[in-house]
Amino acid sequence: MISLGLWILTALIVLVVVMFHAGALLDFIRPSVLQTQLFGLHITLFGVVVILAYEGGRGIGVFIGLIGLFTGILGSFRDSSKSEDKKNI
């Protein structure tokens, strides 16, 4: 059975990623493409650490890894000139 700490950690990671995407979507933050990709890479690597560290946490680790992969791929398709156009208006 998965420990309560792992559930809380997973909920915290999901909350941070959702806040990151909401902030970027609403233009509260303007991360560059590289910053978004690196954030996704860190989340993916943390998912791998969860898989290796917890015997019963394989599903949670894969879930966290997929969230990181989605974040990194989404960062690749962002339009980096969008923030520059708003400055000139």
Q: What is the longest distance spanned by two Cα atoms in the chain?
A: 55
pLDDT value at position 63? 93
Comparing 64 with 2, which gets the higher pLDDT?
64
Q: Is the pLDDT at 39 greater than 90, yes or no?
A: yes
Q: Is the pLDDT at 14 greater than 90, yes or no?
A: yes
Q: Is the pLDDT at 46 greater than 80, yes or no?
A: yes
* Residue 67 phi, psi dihedral angles, 5° rounding: -60, -45
Rg (CA), the chain: 15
Q: Is the pLDDT at 2 greater than 80, yes or no?
A: no
Structure tokens at 67: 């969230």
**9-18, 30-39, 52-61: which has the minimum mean pLDDT?**
52-61
The pTM for the full model equals: 0.81
